[in-house]
Structure 1
Amino acid sequence: MSLSAPPPVAVRTLSAPAAARLLGLWHAAGPAYLALADGLRAAVLSGSLAPLTRLPSERELARALGVSRTTTSAAYDRLRELGFATSQVGSGTVAVLPRSAGLPVRPQAPAGDGPLPPLSDRSGPIEMSQATPSAPDALHGAYQRALEMLPAYLGTGGYSHLGLDVLREAVAERYTARGVPTTPDQVLVTTGGQQAIALLATTLVGRAEPVVVESPTYYHAIEALQRAGGRVIGVPVGDVESLASAVHRTRARLAYLVPDFHNPTGRTLSAEERDTVARLTDRYGVTVIGDETLTDLDLDGGTVPGPFCGDGTDSRLVSVGSASKSFWGGLRIGWVRADPQLVQRLARIRQALDIATPVLEQLTVVELLAERAEILPARVADLRGRRDHLVGLVRHRFPDWDVPSPAGGLCVWTGIGRPAAQALAGAAVAEGLRIGAGPQFTPDGSAQDRVRLIYTSPAEKLTDAVDRLERAWRRITG
């Protein structure tokens, strides 16, 4: 006798009004039920709609969106067909994430909905929503040398709450070489830059306290700050006067910025703007986190102003760094540069999460940092070529779009000329392409006319991605 797996149990509920806000302008052209299903599927894939969320009833969602119940019923049927939802009598419809998430499936249109755009043969889904470059050739050799160093650590328990001394020294030397004298006791090694941000949020944000961020900004930073209980307030990117005003008005004790090759806009704060931010810490007592994970990716060879932490003496200027963008995301090595007392406090709190960072990967990053002068030029040149290829293609295919060429970083913050970002992201999912809709990167759901496009893939895959993007655009524009 075989036992079937129990149906997934919802751990949260999405109301119909919240679903309407999440979807935004979800429908532009074509069958409404497909556009609705695509929008919900894109929300699950992007993380803005968490799996195991109970969706609104068909009737409630139809009322909130101003469509027929037939449309919402067909959309839910479509989600179940694709494996993105499951339903059980008495439990409603629950969003889930299937193993085949993102794979295109040929739609089956019910009578009366008209013909659907054809889905061409393709090799599989294309990921244009994660800014994660592939590893450099030097990574394998760095791991080999790290393995040779590993025996010296095998006689220990393997836990180093602050990070291995040799890596903390290497990170401190890197800051010192950039003009900011730094000692190892000012460095905490974390399991990736994201853990560094989450630790700072957990440590420095109280329940319902205001936190000021740029809008748009790094999505997972918003998420970490909100999960820590913060009330996230957005100000325009690079507008330090608005930043000062928001900090003063809300009495925020924490702000989060991406000073170099901002994710997603690509903007870099000038030296004067950094000085203004530093003065805010004294004037208002606010701690400012500078996320420098993209600092090494200077594609046009401009001079990045000094490290965000200024001369290193301001204890309220905290820097976050990572090996993920410079070298490889699979390393999961990040760090915080901060006042030694804050470093110790963060180290105590992180023990409730993962105790310490893997030893072998720390040793590997030591090797990579020692060779960064040889590794990074080739990496930057490769990314520059991919950026130019994507920007040229998108400008040619979509002459009415605003397609900037960022001076650094990994993404293009693209204006599509109408508030249809979520509809486009949903239609792209149906074409086997994942992109980031603008509202995902804002605390208030704005940027409806922007999408984030990543250029970390090889040129041939970027060409395929733009082909799919064009088909998705036709889906929503008719």
Structure 2
Amino acid sequence: MSGTHLARLLDGVSRERPVYAALARSVRALVLDGRLALRTRLPAERDLATALGVSRTTVTAAYDRLRDEGYVESRQGAGSWTALPPVRMSSAEPQPATFGRTRATPDDPSFIDLGCATPGAPASFDEAVAAAVAELPRYSAGPGYEPAGLESLRQIVADGYAARGVPTRPDQIVVTSGAQQAFTLLTHLLAQPGDAVLVERPTYPHALGALRRRGVRLVPVGVNEGWDVEQAAGAMRQAAVRMAYLIPDFQNPTGRLMPAAERAALADATRHADTFTIIDETFADLAHDPDAPREPPFAAYDTGGRVITIGSASKLLWGGLRIGWIRTTAPLARRLTLAREPFDMASPVLDQLIVRELLLRVDEVRTERAQSLRRNRDALAAALRERLPGWEFRLPEGGMSLWARIGAPVATPLAEAAERLGVRVVAGPVFGVDGVLEDYVRLPYVLPPATLRAAVDRLALASQQAETAPPPRPLPTV
């Protein structure tokens, strides 16, 4: 990273006193919240001093402090790079909280699960199911296998993209058994073990799991404060990134919405890096004001067919409908259809018909979701401000979660304490690549306001326990 780029991330640090301590504290914060990736080579002391307008002695003192704390490593002649201090935990230390519903929910009806950001079915669900069942006999005489998906569903999905300014034909759509299968298919087709893949930090944990199983090298770029196009472009060049995975629409978990100018710039950067870009639009229809102008789809800036979009029924419609889709070029769509055969032959016909019926009512569903999510978001935010005033968060304009900074690197013990008190939350490190984000938690607001307020009451108690718990005893040195 150049001195100029790091100085921009450290804006205002030279006005604090003492400057060297403020500089060390700010670099440490950048590492911990993921905006400065681990193993990033820091600028030379003279270059950073010039960019910040401070003395070289100040930068040297800051680097020395960071080395003492374990956030910087150096080698004579090779420079300095970011790191994390080694952590030695006792064998009795609790394991990090898992994501979503990977663990069974306790039978206690008072248990509150904030690990899963998925709402129940919309009001029009029963009507859509009845219409789909009435339509089913038209398909039951055939084999029931449509590897690319039902033509009628693919047409509606294609029309949705065309209405947003991205002309699309049905043969460019592949219906999958959920967005997770869509992403897994793409990783198997486009990335080989050892390839570099750019990911946001934080990002969707199950996508990280699919990439790790594929054996790729993860190249994270921080998005806690938004997308840094220069940093992402530099990472793609330096790591020879083969594929990028981005969530520009109400990003999971931060809730951020990528502006049009940054979409255009990032699309240009991926094109110059000859990188396939997978855009996850799972949350794209979840604006809290459905009448607000929408940002153009990332695919609108694609000029070479290397931007591939994933959509899903699980967030807007219902998680029990395991239907997703991929929008890409027609040739790649045909390859994906063949590639899915070892996984499953096709998605369930009835589920596809239900999704089709709900998409015919999509404006009604969007309005219902917006009203519910906005009400729940405001209730959760009010409860946090009252019971946990030290926690920091921004109100997203869409999506389903608050990304809360809890003020201390205790997210994992907080999650463990919260579960003992009857509420499940997911700690920040689950959303990252290399152990940072320990001062964040994700808080979905898909549950009713009264339930969310009860959850915050328990989180306040868990926070006290986590902050006052004694540190783990280190293992004896052998």
Same fold (TM over 0.5): yes
Greater shift in the superposed pair: 231-240 or 301-310:
301-310
Greater shift in the superposed pair: 277-286 or 353-362:
277-286
Question: After superposition, what is the alpha-carbon deviation per residue over 1:134-188, rounded to whole angstroms, capped at 9, x for unaligned?
Answer: 1101011101000111001011111110000000101000000111110001100
Alignment-derived partner of residue 377 in structure 2: 387
How big is the shift at 1:340?
1.0
Q: Which of residues 229, 243, 264 is equivalent to 2:232?
A: 243
Q: Determine if the alignment matches structure 1 residue 46 to structure 2 residue 46.
A: no
Alignment-derived partner of residue 148 in structure 1: 134
Report if aligned partners of 1:179, 1:311 keep a CA contact under 8 Å in 2.
no
How big is the shift at 1:349?
1.2
Alignment-derived partner of residue 202 in structure 1: 188
Alignment-derived partner of residue 267 in structure 1: 256
Distance 1:391 1:270 in 2: 24
Alignment-derived partner of residue 366 in structure 1: 356
Aligned to 1:335, the other structure's residue is in SS state strand
Q: Aligned partner of 1:339: which letter? A: T
Report if aligned partners of 2:236, 2:270 keep a CA contact under 8 Å in 1.
no
Q: Determine if the alignment matches structure 1 residue 157 to structure 2 residue 143.
A: yes
Q: Which runs of 5+ in 1 are unaligned?
A: 1-20, 51-96, 105-121
Aligned to 1:413, the other structure's residue is in SS state strand
Alignment-derived partner of residue 278 in structure 2: 289
Distance 1:331 1:132 in 2: 12
Distance 2:275 2:327 in 1: 17
Q: Aligned partner of 2:297: which letter? A: P
Report if aligned partners of 2:267, 2:302 keep a CA contact under 8 Å in 1.
no
Distance 1:434 1:453 in 2: 10
Distance 1:212 1:291 in 2: 14
Distance 1:346 1:431 in 2: 45
Alignment-derived partner of residue 440 in structure 1: 430
Q: Determine if the alignment matches structure 1 residue 171 to structure 2 residue 164.
A: no
Give runs of aligned pairs for residues 39-438 of structure 1, distance below 5 A.
39-40=94-95, 43=97, 45-46=98-99, 101-103=104-106, 123-237=109-223, 238-300=227-289, 302-310=292-300, 313-438=303-428
Q: Which runs of 5+ in 2 are unaligned?
A: 1-83, 469-478
Question: After superposition, what is the alpha-carbon deviation per residue over 1:77-96, rounded to whole angstroms, capped at 9, x for unaligned?
Answer: xxxxxxxxxxxxxxxxxxxx
Aligned residues between the structures: 380
Distance 1:311 1:145 in 2: 37
Report if aligned partners of 1:414, 1:452 keep a CA contact under 8 Å in 2.
yes
Distance 1:389 1:26 in 2: 37
Aligned to 2:358, the other structure's residue is in SS state helix
1:404 to 1:24, Cα distance in 2 relative to 1, 3 A: farther
Distance 2:462 2:88 in 1: 15
Report if aligned partners of 1:102, 1:429 keep a CA contact under 8 Å in 2.
no
Report if aligned partners of 2:175, 2:347 keep a CA contact under 8 Å in 1.
yes
Q: Normalized against structure 2, the TM-score is what?
A: 0.76
Q: Aligned partner of 2:383: which letter? A: L
Distance 2:209 2:442 in 1: 17
Aligned to 1:46, the other structure's residue is in SS state coil
Q: Normalized against structure 1, the TM-score is what?
A: 0.76
Distance 2:335 2:175 in 1: 13
How big is the shift at 1:280?
2.1
Aligned to 1:331, the other structure's residue is in SS state coil
Distance 1:348 1:239 in 2: 37
Question: After superposition, what is the alpha-carbon deviation per residue over 1:416-464, rounded to whole angstroms, capped at 9, x for unaligned?
Answer: 0011111101111111211110010011121111000110001121112
Report if aligned partners of 1:25, 1:420 keep a CA contact under 8 Å in 2.
no
Distance 2:100 2:256 in 1: 25
RMSD: 2.1
Question: After superposition, what is the alpha-carbon deviation per residue over 1:93-148, rounded to whole angstroms, capped at 9, x for unaligned?
Answer: xxxx6xxx4439xxxxxxxxxxxxxxxxx743211011111110101110100011
Percent sequence identity is 43
How big is the shift at 1:365?
0.9
